[in-house]
Amino acid sequence: MGSREEIVAAAAKVMREQGYAHATTKVIAQTAGYSEAMLYKHFRDKTDLFRSVLAEELPALGAALAELTADPGRAPLRDNLVHLARLGLAFYVDSFPIAVSMFSSRELLRSHRDRLRGHGPHLPLQRVADYLRAERELGRIKADTDVEAAAALLLGACFQQAFLATFEEREPADHAEQLADVLLAGL
């Protein structure tokens, strides 16, 4: 593993333990065993590092959605929805402790949102809606399905379960099949 990967792994660890707001680049670099200068050799700032943590250290929700959208018919619809629900649950459980501290101040949230430049929490919703749109085009869900609402229902439920598990300091229950079945009944 190279220095960049070690820094990203250390950032994920520190951000999970301390939240984004309290994770300093100094502590992240020390945790990785490098200087801050080495960290800045690979990353422009903490937001750039945070984006790398989301892309590289958390469950690959984005990659799975891209794959499903490219070839939605390769597996049964229910299997795809269960897979998405499991990935959504895992993604939100892993990212919740990191991201929640950004809401500790309006200034921090505004600054972080501005620096993400379009890469934000709306992307998974858009990608699930794109996947469901592809399923609708295949005729595997009703033609009048509101894919944006269906995406919000699925990921919103995953987010809520992640919130509860984080709040209660417990492992999340695997509700993926139940979530998929309820959604499927409406599709």
Tell me, yes or no, whether 142 and 166 share the same domain.
yes
Q: Are residues 121 and 145 in the same domain?
A: yes
**Shared-domain flag, residues 6 and 90:** no
**Which residues have C-beta within 8 Å of that of residue 75, sequence separation ≥ 6?**
83
Q: What is the pLDDT of residue 27?
A: 94
Q: Minimal CA–CA distance to 85: which of 149, 164, 178, 167?
A: 178
pLDDT of residue 114: 73
| Domain total of the chain | 2
pLDDT tens, per residue, the chain with 187 residues: 678 999 999 998 998 888 877 889 999 999 999 999 999 999 988 888 887 887 777 656 777 888 888 888 889 999 999 999 998 998 888 877 777 777 777 777 777 677 666 667 778 899 899 999 999 999 999 999 999 999 999 999 999 998 899 889 888 888 999 999 999 999 9
Task: For residues 169 and 103, state if they share a domain.
Answer: yes
Asked whether residue 94 falls in the same domain as residue 49, the answer is no
pLDDT in the model for residue 19: 80
For residues 129 and 69, give the distance between their C-alpha atoms in angstroms, rounded to a whole number: 9
- Closest by alpha carbon to 92, among 24, 47, 157? 157
Note whether 3 and 38 are within 8 A (CB): yes
